[in-house]
Structure 1
Amino acid sequence: MRKRTTLGKSSIEVNPVGLGTNAVGGHNIYPNLDEEAGKDVVRTALEQGMNFLDTAYIYGPERSEELTGQVVREHGRREDAVIATKGAHQFKGQDVVFNNSPDFLRKSVDQSLQRLGTDYIDLYYIHFPDKETPKDEAVGALKELKDEGKIRSIGVSNFTLDQLKEANKDGYVDVIQSEYNLFKREAEQLLLPYTSENDITFVPYFPLASGLLTGKYDENTSFDPDDIRAKSPLFQGETYRSNLEKVDKLKSIALKKEAQVPHVVLAWYLEQASIDAIIPGAKNKEQVRDNLKCLEVELSADEVKEIDYIFG
Structure 2
Amino acid sequence: MSKRIELGKTGIHIHPIGLGANKITEEDKKTNTQYGGKILSTAIENGLNFIDTAFIYGNGESEEIVGKTLKESKSREDVVIATKGAHKVTNDGILVDNTPEFLKNEVDKSLKRLRTNVIDLYYIHFPDEKTPKYEAVGALERLKEAGKIRSIGVSNFSVEQLKEANQDGYVDVVQGNYNLLDRSVEREFFQYLLENDISFVPYYPLASGLLTGKYSKDSVISEKNKARPQFQGDMYMENVKKVKKLRGIADKHGVEIHHIVLAYYLTKKPIDAIIPGARNTEQVLSNLKTASVQLVPEDLQLIEELFPLE
TM-score range normalised by the length of the shorter chain: over 0.9
How many residues align structurally?
308
1:119 to 114, 117, 120: 117
Deviation at 1:51, TM superposition (A): 0.5
Matched with 2:139 is 141
Matched with 1:17 is 17
Deviation at 1:75, TM superposition (A): 1.6
| Change in 2 beyond 3 A, CA 1:242/1:32 | closer
Matched with 1:5 is 5
Matched with 2:171 is 173
Contact 2:120 2:149 in 1 (8 A): yes
| Unmatched 5+ stretches in structure 2 | none
Task: Provide the rounded CA distance (Å) in 2 between the counterparts of 1:180 and 1:31.
Answer: 29
Task: Provide the rounded CA distance (Å) in 2 between the counterparts of 1:155 and 1:274.
Answer: 14
TM-score, normalisation: structure 2: 0.96
1:50 to 48, 54, 57: 48
2:158 to 153, 157, 160: 160
Counting only pairs closer than 5 Å after superposition, residues 131-280 of structure 1 correspond to structure 2 as: 131-225=129-223, 228-280=224-276
Contact 2:6 2:12 in 1 (8 A): yes
| Change in 2 beyond 3 A, CA 1:34/1:89 | farther
After superposition, give the CA deviation of every residue in 1:164-199 in whole Å (9 maximum; x if it has no partner): 111111111110000000001110111111111111
Contact 1:25 1:35 in 2 (8 A): no
Contact 2:6 2:14 in 1 (8 A): yes
Deviation at 1:9, TM superposition (A): 1.3
After superposition, give the CA deviation of every residue in 1:33-56 in whole Å (9 maximum; x if it has no partner): 999731101111110110000000
Greater displacement, 161-170 / 296-305: 296-305
CA RMSD of aligned residues (A): 1.7
Residue 90 in structure 1 maps to residue 118 in structure 2: no
Task: Provide the rounded CA distance (Å) in 1 between the counterparts of 2:286 and 2:274.
Answer: 14
Deviation at 1:230, TM superposition (A): 2.0
After superposition, give the CA deviation of every residue in 1:108-134 in whole Å (9 maximum; x if it has no partner): 000000111111100000000001111
* Structure 1 residue ranges, 4+ long, deviating more than 6 angstroms after superposition: 30-36
Contact 1:181 1:204 in 2 (8 A): yes
Deviation at 1:77, TM superposition (A): 2.9
Determine helix, strand or coil for the equivalent of 2:275. Answer: coil
| Change in 2 beyond 3 A, CA 1:26/1:129 | farther
Task: Provide the rounded CA distance (Å) in 2 between the counterparts of 1:198 and 1:3.
Answer: 24
Contact 2:25 2:35 in 1 (8 A): no
Task: Provide the rounded CA distance (Å) in 2 between the counterparts of 1:159 and 1:62.
Answer: 22
Task: Provide the rounded CA distance (Å) in 2 between the counterparts of 1:164 and 1:138.
Answer: 11
Matched with 2:282 is 286
Matched with 1:38 is 36
| Change in 2 beyond 3 A, CA 1:282/1:87 | same
| Change in 2 beyond 3 A, CA 1:295/1:34 | closer
Determine helix, strand or coil for the equivalent of 2:245. Answer: helix
